Structures are given as C-alpha cells and as structure tokens.
Structure 1
Amino acid sequence: MKNLVIFLTICIFLFCGCAAKKTGKKITIEFMTPVEISQLNDLTKNIKKFMKKHPDIAVVITRGDSRNYESKIQARIASGTAPDLVFLNSRFFAYFVKNNIFENLSPYIQNDNEISLDDYFPESLNFYQFDNGLYALPKGINPVVLAYNKEQFEQRGLSIPDNKWTWNVFANAARRLTVDENNDNIIDNFGCAMPPLHVLIWQSGGDILSENFTAAAVNSSHVRQAIQYQLDLINKYKCTARPAERADYGSGEEMFMTKRLSLVFMGHAKIMDFRAHKSLDWDVEIMPGFAEHPRVTFLDSAGVGILSSCKYKKEAFELLKYYCGTDGVKDRIRSGEQFPAIKKLAYSPLFLQPEKKPANHIAFCDSVSFARNYQKAMNMGRITEAFFDEVTQILEGAKNIDQGLLNAEKRINEILNNQ
C-alpha cells in the first residue's frame, strides 16, 4: 500500500509538471529516476534524510519507466516540464551534454568546501567529463569480473582462477569444465559464458571507432583477433554456446546460478542474485588478459546531473551533492548491491562485508583501475548495436569475419555521417 501511495504521488507531480518551484518558504526539486518499485522505499528513505537536513527544500521523486527512459526525459524537456535532476546511464551522456541539456557542475564543485572529486575513483568521473567540464556525479559504478564455481573446479582437479590468468589458460580450463554427462551430445554443463567482445577488443589494442570518433575502426587485426578467440571457444574448445543456442539455455548468469555453467562474467549489480543461491559455492577474480597486452575490463556507471533548465540550481546541487556523496552513498551500500564510486567506501568493511560471498569481493575494487567503457561518441548505442549485430552473424556462421567486419564498418560510418 505504501508503494502505491508513493507511486500515485509521483504520477500527480509528473502530470502537473513539477519542475523546481518555490512554494511559500520551500523550494521543490524534482528528481527523475528509473528506479524499480522494489528499490523505491530505500530511495525515499535516502531523500527524507536529505530533507531533514535541508528543511527549506522539498524533493519529489518521479519514477520514469526504464523502457525508453531517455526518450521520456527528452519529451519532458520538449513539453516545458523538465525535471531538475535526472538519473541517466553513462552511455547516453554524450548526446545530452552535446545538446546542452546538462548543467556544467565544475563551477559549483570549485566553489564548494564539502565535496572533493579526489574522493572518487577517477574512472567513475571519466564518464561525465566533456570539454573540461563535469556534467554529473556517479551514483555508483559496475565493474565486471570473472565469477567461477569453486565446487566444479575442485571436481575437475583444476586450480581456481588467480589474477595471472590469461585467455589461453581460461580456454583450456573451460574445455575441461564442459561436460556431457550422458554422452548424448547434449552439453549438461558449459565451461564458460562468452567473454565480452569489447573487452577482448580493448585488450587486443583495438576499438570500435577511431580516436576522434569520425570513422569506424572495426575492420582491423585487433578486432579480428578478438572475434577469432570467440570463434575458437565455440568451434575449437567447444566450451560455450553460439548466440542462438544461448537463447535456449538462458542467460550466462542464470546458467551459472543453477550450476550449468562454470565461468561467467558478472557486473557487481548481480551480486545479490548470486548470493540468493545459498548452495552455490562461488568466488570472483579479476578479468583474464592476453599475455602481450595490458589488462582491461568493462566499467559501467549511472550518473545524476542537473538539467540546464533547472530554476533553483543551487538547491539542486545540494541534493546532488548529498545523494552522490558519502552520506547518501553510505546508506545505499549497506545491502552490498551498489558499488560505490567513492574509494574509501568501496574498500570499507561496510561494503566489502567479508562474512559474505564472494570471499574475494575486493577483486571488484582492484578492477576499477584498469576498467573503461565505450568511447564517448554520440549515438554510441546505435553504433554498438550495428556492430554486435554483424558479429552475431559471424559467430553463427552466416558470414565470415571479413564479410561481417566490412559490413559493420559500412553501417557504423553511415551512422557517423548522418548524425
């Protein structure tokens, strides 16, 4: 019932257009977020603590459905009822910043004595830095590591992964972990999920776009090496499924949690799901790497920014500073789910919770220093969608590598030329 009341309140403010306004002595700030209903109570408690410290500011939470969330923000802006603060995935920030939708936070931070950017992982801020300005603060980050089933490693007499693992060691272990128990040509346990292609490309020294984001860079030896490794896992080592087959088995995380897959790549956001499977004996390690190249992993983030149209930017900044600062983040990491972008909190017992799985929880923290995200180009979502569509056809055998990459290059350049 409480969730229903909150949801109805949100709807009322949404349709009335409740961007920052002054009512009596109170200023109302609207915070738009795609938070799930199940997480709404925690968010509301977090915001209530802020309002207790700032009795002159009232905060209204607008829950935007995660489907087409970015389009809904744009629709609110076009209608003249834009919210004041918005939560947004990092991959969409380039478009919003380049269209002057977000306020540059750098002047506010420089004139504030309470917030220090030195407290944050530098990698968590990179998402939101454009042209010497900072346009959001990270709500949290989501580094990707390798998770493994300890019990299955012991059953096969294999040494568990360590921080020296290469992709060659990974492939050989995955092959030995792949099991057809009944000899019926149906795999009962796959050795591994497919390693993230973008990570393999970065570790090979390549990328999807040129350095200045003006042309596709996928038709290269680096990208070929990465795709060939994925093909080898399917055809040579026979330890992972093709994309079409994976649809029948479920996601890699689902297969891992039900003990049908031994090695999977997980972001920290999945940790509560893994912990819920009490009988699963698992741990994590940093991402494997190619011996001849620096190690790289994937890092995602969601940030909170102030819209340029916000009327009461000073008050909105106070909310942003609290929500993404130590006090606000500390409240949200107690469950262990959200990975804090603030370094001292990430390495604290409050977050690491050594009494809970995974035992090597700190591997997530250690991964941040060599983690990155996609290039900060406009329309990066469309670009990666076109690229991975071609790669899927290569992995399915519908195209060879040369055909797929040539077509991917053409499709990406068309997107770049029509921005």
Structure 2
Amino acid sequence: MKRRAALRAMAVFAAMSVGLGLAACGSDTEQSGTADQADLVMSIWGSTNDTKTYQERADAYTATHPGVKVTVKNIPIENYDQQVDTMIAGGSSPDIILVDSTRGPALASRGAILDLAPRIQSAGLKLEDTVDANRISGYNLKGKQFALPDRGGNLVFYYNKTMFEKANVALPKAGWTWGEFTEAAKKLTIVEGGKTTQYGVAIDNWPQAVESVTRSFGGTILNDALDGPAIDSPQFRTGLQTYYDLAAKLKVSPTLQDYADFGQNVNRDALFAQGKTAMIWAGLWDIPDFVKQGLSFGIAPPPSPDAANPTMMAFGTGLAVGSRSKQQDAAWAVVQYMFSVDGQEPIVANQQDVPSAKALIPEWEKALPQGISYADLTKASNQVFSPARPPQANQIAKQVEQDLYPFFTGSASVEEATSNAASHIKATLAGS
C-alpha cells in the first residue's frame, strides 16, 4: 500500500526512447536456456520490501525448479525506463520485466517484450479466472497481451466518519450517486465568518481522479481505436466541468489557488489527514498515513452519475517477458507461477500492495486496520476499469495534464483546454 510516489510517477513519467530498432527481433533471438535450466534476471522498481517480496516469490518457484535461478534487479524508478532500454540495446535484456499500463505499450510496440497470447493459449490459462476481467485490458495492445497483471489496487473514495456522523449524513456506499454525493458535500462544508473551515470534499487536477470522474460520465481521453482523441467529446467535457464545479461553483472544495494559499505541500491528501475535508479521491496507499493521524475513516467506491459507467481507475503492475531474453521458456514459467494465487501469497504476507488475484483479496483485507472495510469495493469490482493505452501513453498523459492545468486555474474554458489537448494528442499519435 505504500506506493504513493511510485504510482503517481508512473502515470506521468517521461517517454521511453524509441530508437532501439527492436520491432522484429523477438523471434530471431537465439535461445540458450530451457524451462528447467536458466539463470534469469527480473527488473523491477520500488522499495526494499518490493525487492524482498519479488525475490521470495521467485525463490518459491526455484525451490521446486532447482535448475532455475532468478535475480531481482531493483532499478530506481527515475532511471528505470532508460536503464531497461540500455540493457535491451546492449544485448543483456532482463528476462522478466516489470511494467505498468503506460510503460508496457511502448515496449510492446517495439517488440521488446513478447506477445504472451500464444503462450497463454497453449497453457490453457483463462486470465479472468484469476484476476477481474476489467484489469486485463490495461496490459493489452491491439490484441497482444504483453504482460500478466501482477499487483492491483485502484482509485477509491475516502470519507471521514466523524464528520459524517456529526452532520447526520449517511455514509458513502457502493452505488452512491453523484446527486447524493454533492448534497452530502454541501452539508459537510462549514463556513465561519466568511471563511471555509471545513470542506465537504477536496479535489485537484490529479490525472487519475480526472480520468476516473470523466469516465464515470462516459468520457475517455482517446477513442476506442486508440488512434485519435476523445477528450474534446461532450461526455468528457461534461464530466470535467462537473468535477471542477465542485470548487469553482459549489464552493465545497478548495481551488488550486486555495491549495497554494494553504502553504507548501498542502494537497487534498494533506487536508484529509488534517481533518479539514470530509472526502477525497485517492489510492489505497494513503491508508497507513491516515491511520497514523488517528482518523476515523472509511473507503468506498467513488460516486457515479451513471451506474453503467465505471468510476475507479485500476492501478498496478504486470510482468512481461523480454523478447531478447535467451531464456524465454523459463522466464514465462516464472511469470506464469507469479500470476497464480500461490505465487502472489507473499504480496499479502509482506503487505507489499494489493494482489491482482481476486481469491487473495479476502486475506489481504484482514490486514487492513481495524474498522476499515473493503466490502463495498468488492461489491463494485465491475466499476474498476483499466484503459488500453497506445505506445505514446506517457507523452499523452504528461501533455494532457499540462493542457488541462489552465482550466483548473480558471484561465481557460473547458472547450479551450480540451480542444488544445485534442490537438496535441493528434500530433503525438501522428508522430509529430
């Protein structure tokens, strides 16, 4: 759960270099290892606990396959893309590569990681038997499954129980409507002497919240074919404007200028931790911090204007096989094991994060602090979405955040900001 910095960096990280010329080399790599005899390298990013957990999982596999060795190589996230590219170009590609839904498509489009679909079919694997089906698409590029989901989690909605009970407002729950949410936010906003001392909700321009909210209104950043923008659609604009109006019109949330006035490093998470807002959109990694603050809080699916649309963006990572690995069979066997329930048990035991294996969620939930229930999130698993991404995902994510910033500061209309973003998306997809 302690993944805040890494997961936020993922969504907007700089694009991978594209000049490696790997598009057709996957099938030409000479194989020197077998499934039972191999010395593998797995590249990851993360904390010392991440290294420990991945190594334990690998060791659990090699304990029954003594001819196989797996070395986990932890690369700082700031240098991860560049170093992995350098390893691939230098002929020492990692055999197993940790990716996410923004890193993976770039590697897959260049043929740097394998399309696992043939191996999945040959093994008779039905991915949806292990993980929720709506988590799979985030590791798929134009029908090619470039990774298996490994760790999960998704955007959730935090609420301060004490504030709700004091205001005699019903607690958020699965199926909470946007109308119910806004009425609660109004009742939970306290203004004294012309100054807001408690906000009903705190929003900002965090990209994952923006995409989750606009998706719940039926809007998407890209079209279904991933070859053009949809960010300038009426659905996206309506969702974006409604979200921003919580601060600009309803005055139940701080504006970006308000955050700046509060002082350095004050954001929606900090306001919730300080007991100055009743609700926020955030990730599960915030739970330990809020527990330390002694807050009485709960988590639930975010409100939605239309139950037919998902409202919780999936977070997480997947495991891919390097196409330049000379030990692909052994690497695939390890990845397949780590995808299994047994292979993900150490994720729960070490409280590393949320396992993607749905059978382990009840066990993971037991480790949550007393009084915090995941039940409403489990009920709403169909509200999770993992958008497919094009190879230019990183560039687009970073540019969209920049293009929408003027809207969140009130210096551009929703039409101006989204039209500008659409133009940049078109140029990026066209390669200019």
Residue in 2 that maps onto 1:8: none
Does 2:38 correspond to 1:27? yes
1:406 equivalent among 419, 423, 431: 419
Separation of aligned partners in 1, 2:78 and 2:321: 21
Residue in 1 that maps onto 2:408: 395
CA drift at 1:404:
1.8
2:166 equivalent among 155, 161, 165: 155
2:109 equivalent among 91, 98, 101: 98
The residue type equivalent to 2:275 in the other structure is: K
Cα separation, partners in 2 of 1:273 and 1:328, compared to 1, 3 Å: farther
Kept in 1, the 8 Å contact 2:56–2:346? The answer is no
In structure 2, stretches of 5+ residues that fail to align are: 1-30
User: More displaced, 210-219 or 244-253?
Assistant: 244-253
Kept in 1, the 8 Å contact 2:232–2:422? The answer is yes
Separation of aligned partners in 1, 2:256 and 2:185: 17
SS at match of 1:387: helix
| 1:151-201 superposed Cα distances (whole Å, 9 cap, x missing partner) | 1111122111122322222122222222345x363x433221227221222
Residue in 1 that maps onto 2:7: none
The residue type equivalent to 1:41 in the other structure is: K
1:58 equivalent among 55, 66, 69: 69
The residue type equivalent to 2:278 in the other structure is: S
Separation of aligned partners in 2, 1:166 and 1:402: 26
User: More displaced, 92-101 or 332-341?
Assistant: 332-341
Does 2:253 correspond to 1:240? yes
Residue in 2 that maps onto 1:265: 281
Residue in 1 that maps onto 2:200: 191
Kept in 2, the 8 Å contact 1:148–1:282? The answer is yes
Q: Residues 258-337 of structure 1: matches in 2 within 5 Å? A: 258-277=274-293, 279-291=294-306, 294-336=309-351
TM-score, length of structure 1 as denominator length: 0.85
The residue type equivalent to 1:126 in the other structure is: S
Cα separation, partners in 2 of 1:130 and 1:409, compared to 1, 3 Å: closer
User: More displaced, 27-36 or 122-131?
Assistant: 122-131
CA drift at 1:92:
1.9
Q: Residues 41-80 of structure 1: matches in 2 within 5 Å? A: 41-80=52-91
2:383 equivalent among 365, 370, 394: 370
Kept in 1, the 8 Å contact 2:116–2:146? The answer is yes
| 1:228-255 superposed Cα distances (whole Å, 9 cap, x missing partner) | 2123211222121223433536232232
Residue in 2 that maps onto 1:230: 243
Residue in 1 that maps onto 2:17: none
Separation of aligned partners in 1, 2:272 and 2:87: 41
What is the CA RMSD across the aligned residues, in angstroms?
Answer: 2.6
Separation of aligned partners in 1, 2:50 and 2:116: 27
Kept in 1, the 8 Å contact 2:199–2:277? The answer is yes
How many residues were matched structurally?
393
User: More displaced, 140-149 or 169-178?
Assistant: 169-178
Cα separation, partners in 2 of 1:358 and 1:208, compared to 1, 3 Å: farther
SS at match of 1:147: strand
Cα separation, partners in 2 of 1:276 and 1:57, compared to 1, 3 Å: farther
CA drift at 1:291:
4.5
Separation of aligned partners in 2, 1:287 and 1:357: 22
SS at match of 1:245: helix
